[in-house]
Amino acid sequence: MSITSLSPRTIEGFFSSLPQGERAAIISYGIAIRLSNLRKRLFLAESKVKHFEEKFQITLAELDAEGLPDDADWEMHEDYVLWHHWAEVIGKTREALVSLEEMASGGLCLEEVVHAGGS
């Protein structure tokens, strides 16, 4: 049986049974990997938003304030929806990064690691 097929309760038990050092290492490595993934996602989202700004020579905030032009074609409408999506991704990703970066820079208290996983 693989760990991915275990129920959350079983995973917590398995995690809790590991030595403290292993739990701390898993959490630290997990944070580092997640931060890396979030940074890549933020770069992608920012690149997409920049592309739309350059393509239409306007920021999303300005376009929202002015509204789409009356002669906007289907491509502009689709780009507008995608533009909003990527702007939302930027906001959510930045929030996640801030919380994880605080955790990573402050380090984890040993007590937090001991209690991680429900023990």
Tens digit of pLDDT per residue, the chain (119 long)?
Answer: 555 666 767 888 889 999 999 998 998 899 999 999 999 999 999 999 999 999 999 999 999 999 999 999 999 999 999 999 999 999 999 999 999 998 888 765 444 444 444 44
Distance between CA atoms of 59 and 86, rounded to whole angstroms? Answer: 13
pLDDT at 3: 58
Q: Which letter, b or e, does each residue of 69-86 get, where b requires 16 or more Cβ atoms within 10 Å of its Cβ?
A: eeeeeeebeebbeebeeb
Length of the chain: 119
Residues 6+ apart with CB under 8 A from 27: 108, 113, 116
At 47 the pLDDT is 98
Q: Given this model, what pLDDT does residue 30 score?
A: 92
Domains of the chain, by residue range, sit at: 3-115
Task: Note the pTM of the prediction, 2 decimals.
Answer: 0.76
Question: What secondary structure letter does DSSP report for 3?
Answer: G
